[in-house]
Amino acid sequence: MSDDRRLEILRAIVQDYVRTSEPVGSKALLERHQLGVSAATVRNDMAVLEEEGLITAPHTSAGRVPTDAGYRMFVDRLSAVKPLTRAERTAIERFLHGAVDLDDVVTRTTRLLSSLTHQVAVMQYPSLSRSSVRHIELVPVGGTRLMVVLIVNTGRVEQRVIDVGRDLTGQEALVADLRARVNGTAVGEALTAVPDRLVGVVDAVAPEDRPVASAVAAALRDALEEQAEERVVLSGTANLARVNTDFPTSLSAVLDALEEHVVLLRLMGSLSSVPDADRVAVSIGAENPYAPLRTTSVVATSYGVAGGLGVLGPTRMDYPQAMAAVRAVAHYVAEILDG
Amino acid sequence: MSDDRRLEILRAIVQDYVRTSEPVGSKALLERHQLGVSAATVRNDMAVLEEEGLITAPHTSAGRVPTDAGYRMFVDRLSAVKPLTRAERTAIERFLHGAVDLDDVVTRTTRLLSSLTHQVAVMQYPSLSRSSVRHIELVPVGGTRLMVVLIVNTGRVEQRVIDVGRDLTGQEALVADLRARVNGTAVGEALTAVPDRLVGVVDAVAPEDRPVASAVAAALRDALEEQAEERVVLSGTANLARVNTDFPTSLSAVLDALEEHVVLLRLMGSLSSVPDADRVAVSIGAENPYAPLRTTSVVATSYGVAGGLGVLGPTRMDYPQAMAAVRAVAHYVAEILDG
DNA sequence: GACTGGCACTCGCGAAGTGAGAGTGCCAAC
DNA sequence: GTTGGCACTCTCACTTCGCGAGTGCCAGTC
């Protein structure tokens, strides 16, 4: 029962392969690791690992390379998320604390993450799922036109200018009344709950004001929908090109896929929605539901409750390091967005 | 004096090389173009063109390839911007008119442009240079905190929450007064003029309200500065990878450069600030001031007055097509942003 | 003087060949 | 279960080589 040793060998193969990006053979393994056995024994174990589908040989007389399943085993059972150094933590903290607004937080986060991991960083904008209305503003902007501004607790702002079909000059009282009503109904509520509640507002105003009220309600629904349309930001795509030995033909396919933000959103959504808060999710190669990304791995987690962030790179990735960076960055981002 | 024929040959070389991406020789040229002379004559002319630095031979027995100077000559004197077909125009119009807000306009524009030209599309957000204030809103958000919202005529919104050091509960009159004052001073004014004018506002309020007023003014100045910090959006970076024969080693350097938005902004700024409104500017290869982009060309113009847009690709680019697309798209974008 | 046909020459590129080296599987011995 | 040894396999880097595209030049023609 040399099960333990075999796994130790798998771990060594993964580590060496990630480092050198070259298939690793039995001899090379012995040079770099004190396994306490001979090359022949390593070869026997490697044969078993290959049978189990954890490693594979690109061709007869080359070394072995981990399969997706091998990486999976490595991530699940053979690696610990290595804690960052104190210096790294303070560097992260300092860099992120310089951010002035939400956009800046997102930009800085993705840059930070891509430079820490040398992979492509992906971050979802805080989403509507747990967001709420902070304030709604109504501003007459001349004649029959009214500006409707929706401000969300995550700091996002959405605005619309609508035509209410009625001259609002000198109608400050009406506007103020409406403003008070919509704010009274919506502020603090989850974005998802607001559309329903707006119905009540329209019903409650004087009949002659209904058209104006319902125009406002329509604009707000529209703005809310826009908020629901989530966004995602990338950084470090150049890192993909740098390791283009890992993407024989499909580099441009991967780059294409990265411009499909809808796909990335779904990906981040599914990976970051795990119940366990501190958990970092990993999707490896063929595990990926979206075909063009089958040659890549994604390491992601959620920051706080409102969205996900992570990195994407070749399956040949330094998982422990990526997981540590993603977790630490998510931690600080959550802290900043809460404050 | 066979100057005309030589230029005709240069044009043919550029066209063929752009199409095939292979060096073009005298014979191949005769097959595809009716030049009315023999191969030997073409060779003589080619030798002259090479002396003039307009074309070059990658190695002794290959065909010729245009130099940056050759492309420059082609763009300046040998090509007409080919008008788009009516079908293309309506397609552009339809696609852009579906946009719901500024973000959407920018996103759609870059996507459209990159798919039309198969290059990387770049678009500057409307900048402050000619923007003005549409509205400023002040909203107490509990206790001593006040939200300041700045809305710009291009549709951009910036907001800050500040602590005014004084409990605003029940102080609606003060807030309304301040709101009226700042709006009276700033609305319609160019963003660049607002900071100076705010000084007068602070001076004009009652002495006990000065701290609140200057806190608001500070927040607005900050927000204006943020607006000044321009943004740029990309699309179609995968197109670069697709033609990676054009970027022997430097693909990742180019991708890196594209993430340096500051550089792109300066680039777009200088190219799109030409006086002539309908002019499309072209920067070819080594003409580019930023070293990593010396292997690329940029075709850009301004849309309306507030910013630039364009495409970036290898110097081996279909300039007439790119110029036509850029000009047409800029035209429609300007129209949309005006309305 | 401009153009043309012909010719000798150059040189990159792909195909084919080759040797070295890394790596394997298997087996007999411990 | 482990080990040393050995025969075998196969890729990779390197070299050689012939083909063909392309050139420059020159003498001849209009």
**pLDDT digits 0-9 by tens, B261-315:** 888 888 888 887 765 667 899 999 999 989 999 999 999 998 876 688 999 999 9
- Residues A206-261: tens digit of each pLDDT: 998 999 999 999 988 888 877 666 788 899 988 888 776 666 567 888 888 998 88
| CB within 8 Å: B149 and A141 | no
Among protein residues, the one whose C-alpha sits closest to the C1' atom of C1 is B1
Q: What is the pLDDT at residue A240?
A: 86
For the CA of A11 and the C1' of C21, the distance in angstroms is 26
B134 touches chain A (CB under 8 A): yes
Phi (first) and psi of residue B66, to 5 degrees: -65, 145
- Asked if pLDDT for residue A160 goes beyond 90, the answer is no
Q: What average pLDDT does range A297-318 have in this prediction?
A: 89
User: Can you name the residues that pair with A276 across neighbouring β-strands?
Assistant: none
> A105-114, A275-284, B220-229: which has the highest mean pLDDT?
A105-114
Cα dihedral B269, B274, B277, B280 sign: negative
Q: Structural domain boundaries of chain A?
A: 2-76, 86-127+230-338, 131-227
User: Could you give the CA distance from residue B306 to residue B126 in angstroms, rounded to a whole number?
Assistant: 5
Distance from the B141 Cα atom to the nearest Cα atom in chain A, whole angstroms? 8
Question: Does the domain formed by A2-76 have CATH 3.10.20.340?
Answer: no
pLDDT band at residue B1 under the 50/70/90 scheme: very low
| CB within 8 Å: B242 and A236 | no
- Residues A186-203: tens digit of each pLDDT: 988 888 888 888 888 889
For the CA of A12 and the C1' of D8, the distance in angstroms is 27
Give chain B's mean pLDDT: 86
A61: the nucleotide nearest its CA (via C1') is C23
User: Can you name the residues that pair with A132 across neighbouring β-strands?
Assistant: A190
Global pTM reads 0.78
At a 7 A CB cut-off, the residues bordering strand C are A 23-28, 39-40, 43, 46-47, 50, 57, 60-64; B 1-2, 5, 36-41, 43-44, 59-62
Among protein residues, the one whose C-alpha sits closest to the C1' atom of D4 is A40
% of chain B exceeding 90 in pLDDT: 33
Give me the residue from A100, A137, A259 closest to B137, CB to CB.
A137
User: Could you give the CA distance from residue B263 to residue B292 in angstroms, rounded to a whole number?
Assistant: 11
Q: What is the pLDDT at residue A125?
A: 84
Write the burial class of residue A161 (CB in 10 Å: 0-12 exposed, 13-18 middle, 19+ buried): middle
> A78-92, B63-77, B148-162, B209-223: which has the highest mean pLDDT?
B63-77
For the domain covering B86-127+230-338, report its CATH number. Answer: 3.30.450.40
Q: What is the pLDDT at residue A275?
A: 58
- Residues B12-30: tens digit of each pLDDT: 999 999 998 889 998 888 8
- Residues B105-135: tens digit of each pLDDT: 888 999 999 999 999 999 988 766 667 888 8
- Of the listed ranges B96-100, B156-160, B200-204, B314-318, the least confidently predicted one is B156-160
A139 touches chain B (CB under 8 A): yes
Q: Using an 8 Å CB-CB cutoff, list chain B residues near A238.
A: 252-253, 255-256, 258-259
Residue A299 neighbours by CB distance under 10 Å: 30
Q: What is the pLDDT at residue B55?
A: 93
pLDDT band at residue B227 under the 50/70/90 scheme: low
Give me the residue from B100, B101, B241 closest to A251, CB to CB.
B241
Q: Under DSSP, is residue B133 helix (H, G, I), strand (E, B) or coil?
A: strand
| CB within 8 Å: A141 and B157 | no
Phi (first) and psi of residue A76, to 5 degrees: -75, -40
Chain B residue with minimum CA distance to A147: B135
- Total H helices, total E strands in chain B: 13, 10
Give me the residue from B137, B147, B159 closest to A139, CB to CB.
B137
8 A C-beta contact, residue A154 and residue A126: yes
8 A C-beta contact, residue B189 and residue B197: yes
At a 7 A CB cut-off, the residues bordering strand D are A 1-2, 5, 36-41, 44, 59-62; B 23-28, 39-40, 43, 46-47, 50, 57, 60-64
Q: What is the pLDDT at residue A305?
A: 64
Residue A149 neighbours by CB distance under 10 Å: 24
User: Which CATH fold topology does B131-227 show?
Assistant: Enolase-like; domain 1 (3.30.390)
Token digits of residue A309: 């962030």
Side-chain-side CA neighbours of B248 within 13 Å: the count stands at 1
% of chain A exceeding 90 in pLDDT: 32
B77 touches chain A (CB under 8 A): no
Q: What average pLDDT does range A80-100 have in this prediction?
A: 84
The 3-class secondary structure across chain A, one letter per residue, is CCHHHHHHHHHHHHHHHHHHCCCECHHHHHHHCCCCCCHHHHHHHHHHHHHCCCEECCCCCCCEEECHHHHHHHHHHHCCCCCCCHHHHHHHHHHHHCCCCHHHHHHHHHHHHHHHHCCEEEEECCCHHHCEEEEEEEEECCCCEEEEEEEECCCCEEEEEEECCCCCCCCHHHHHHHHHHHHHHHCCCEHHHHHHHHHHHHHHCCHHHHHHHHHHHHHHHHHHHHHHCCCEEEECCHHHHHCHHHCCCCHHHHHHHHHCHHHHHHHHHHHHCCCCCCCCEEEEHHHCCCHHHCCEEEEEEEECCCEEEEEEEECCCCHHHHHHHHHHHHHHHHHHHHC
For the CA of A239 and the C1' of C28, the distance in angstroms is 51
- Regarding beta strands A232-235 and B65-66, do their DSSP bridges make them parallel or antiparallel, or are they unpaired? unpaired
Residue B119 neighbours by CB distance under 10 Å: 30
Distance from the B216 Cα atom to the nearest Cα atom in chain A, whole angstroms? 16
Amino acid at A100: V
> A229-233, A327-331, B162-166: which has the highest mean pLDDT?
A327-331
Residues 6+ apart with CB under 8 A from A225: none
Q: Using an 8 Å CB-CB cutoff, list chain B residues near A251.
A: 241, 244
Q: Under DSSP, is residue B240 helix (H, G, I), strand (E, B) or coil?
A: helix
- Asked if pLDDT for residue A284 goes beyond 90, the answer is yes
Q: Which residue has the tokens 């996507």?
A: B111
- Residues B186-217: tens digit of each pLDDT: 888 888 888 888 888 889 899 989 999 999 99
Distance from the A213 Cα atom to the nearest Cα atom in chain B, whole angstroms? 21
User: Could you give the CA distance from residue A233 to residue A156 in angstroms, rounded to a whole number?
Assistant: 15
- Asked if pLDDT for residue A1 goes beyond 50, the answer is no
Q: Count A/B contacts: CB-CB distance under 8 Å.
A: 76
| CB within 8 Å: B237 and A237 | yes
Q: Using an 8 Å CB-CB cutoff, list chain B residues near A218.
A: none
User: Could you give the CA distance from residue B269 to residue B128 in angstroms, rounded to a whole number?
Assistant: 12
Q: Which of these, B155, B92, B160, B159, lies nearest to B126 by C-alpha position?
A: B155
Q: What Å distances lie between residue A294 and A180, A256, B224, CA to CA?
A: 52, 13, 44
Give me the residue from A139, A226, A255 closest to B241, CB to CB.
A255
Q: Which of these, A80, A60, A58, A73, lies nearest to A14 by C-alpha position?
A: A73
Give chain A's mean pLDDT: 86
User: Could you give the CA distance from residue A131 to residue A189 in angstroms, rounded to a whole number?
Assistant: 8
Classify B21 in phi/psi space as left (phi over 0), alpha (psi -120 to 50) or beta: left
Distance from the B78 Cα atom to the nearest Cα atom in chain A, whole angstroms? 33
